[in-house]
Structure 1
Amino acid sequence: MGCFSSKKTKYTPGYEEPTVLASETSFSVSEVEALYELFKKLSRSIIDDGLIHKEEFQFALFRNRNKKNLFVDRIFDLFDIKRNGVVDFGEFVRSLSIFHPDAPVSEKIAFAFKLYDLRQTGFIERDELKEMVVALLHESDLILSEDYVETIVDKTYTDADTKGDGRIDQEEWKEFVLKNPSLIKNMTLPYLKDITLAFPSFVLNSEVPDSEV
């Protein structure tokens, strides 16, 4: 029994070979390997089962697992490609790849569209846009008046809904974002380009007190 004890070959659920994931994403093989180490830490931070649950996801991104937030919910839902309530390693890498500086802008625009299309109708409607604007402001701890939020939403809709049918389709969204690239600024995480260097400082530093786990 002892001769294999030093070799750990037990991988997390949904594990895929780095070479496969590198060929399908913007990451190199070494970056995927670094992401696996990160994934293992995140997937064990609250529930030690090798999968990322929403609480772990929220804590990793926002250092808070108790505050309900629409923005976090939508990001998690989009990472959860299999729609089974957890994120496995393959889903983690494929979804994170969209945030890579080298990922195609078209992928970032499409991801952002899905983010705002709360009811998954294929259109961004005014109330969906308002919900996301409020959620993003809340996440940034910005308190704006109802009137100001309405002004932001109205201006966005006036500029984006070029067909004037009261909803923003994918084509309109793409044109609008290309004219206003700051809208997808948060779709790029610069440190992913050097994940093998940035990795140590990005990983959770055991910030959850034992009493909370």
Structure 2
Amino acid sequence: MGNDQGKPNFKELSKGTKFSTKELSDWHKKFKKDFPDGKINKQQFITLYQKMFGDDKAASTEFCEHVFKRYDTDNNGVVDFKEFITTLSVASRGTNEEKLMWAFKLYDKDNNGRTSQSLMILSLANFFYLAIYKSRNVANPSQKAKDTARSILNKADDNRDNRLSEAEFIMHVKDCPEIKDMLHGF
């Protein structure tokens, strides 16, 4: 990324993201304003995440720490601008498949390319709850989110081993109407 005191190489960074050099420059200014040392530590990240989502189900400290680890790709205990903007690029401008791949990796806690169906149900339910049902004032949004997640994942578990591979997850989940709607909203 360049040295931590100066500006990153926006031209080089634009090759690895879906942002123009101008957009990267604007994002960097905002990032440096909020994080003058150019890094987000774990506690700052948790505070930000909890402020954004505010819901104790999806913003528990344990879950926030897990999300932080996914942002901190070099495992040095902080999220620098390059790590931040790379993730933001996928979340805001990635293809549906790229977004789903990132989401799957978020829940593949041991990085083995598979995750338990129960963990995915819980994770997707929290996501549906926050991203769709609560904001649309759906009756009993928490239960509706769990039911939707369970239905999707029961269809996705092709080999019925109660675990989902990334391929199973992406193949089945990307065609779910609620997820399509949600992915286009980001």
TM-score, normalisation: structure 2: 0.73
> Which residue, out of 106, 109, 122, partners 1:115?
106
Deviation at 1:189? Answer: 6.6
Q: 1:81 to 1:188 in 2, by over 3 A?
A: farther
1:51 has 2:39 as partner: yes
In our comparison, the structure showing a higher alpha carbon Rg is 1
In the alignment, is the contact (CA less than 8 A) between 2:158 and 2:168 conserved in 1?
yes
- Per the alignment, residue 6 of structure 1 pairs with none
Q: Which has the higher contact order (CA 8 A, sep 6+)?
A: 1
What is the identity percentage for the equivalent residue pairs of Structure 1 and Structure 2? 25
TM-score, normalisation: structure 1: 0.65
CA distance, structure 2, for counterparts of residue 174 and residue 62 of structure 1? 27
> Which residue, out of 94, 117, 138, partners 1:126?
117
Secondary structure, counterpart of 1:157 in structure 2: helix
Aligned length: 173
Secondary structure, counterpart of 2:109 in structure 1: coil
Higher fraction of strand: 2
Deviations 1:169-203 (A, max 9, x none): 1111111122115336655675xxxxxxxxxxxxx
- Structure 2: which 5+ runs fail to align? 135-139
- Structure 1: which 5+ runs fail to align? 1-10, 191-213
> Which residue, out of 51, 56, 60, partners 1:63?
51
CA distance, structure 2, for counterparts of residue 166 and residue 71 of structure 1? 22
> Which residue, out of 64, 69, 80, partners 1:72?
64
In the alignment, is the contact (CA less than 8 A) between 2:46 and 2:61 conserved in 1?
no
Residue identity opposite 2:71 in structure 1? F
- Per the alignment, residue 162 of structure 2 pairs with 166
In the alignment, is the contact (CA less than 8 A) between 2:122 and 2:146 conserved in 1?
no
Q: CA RMSD in A?
A: 3.3
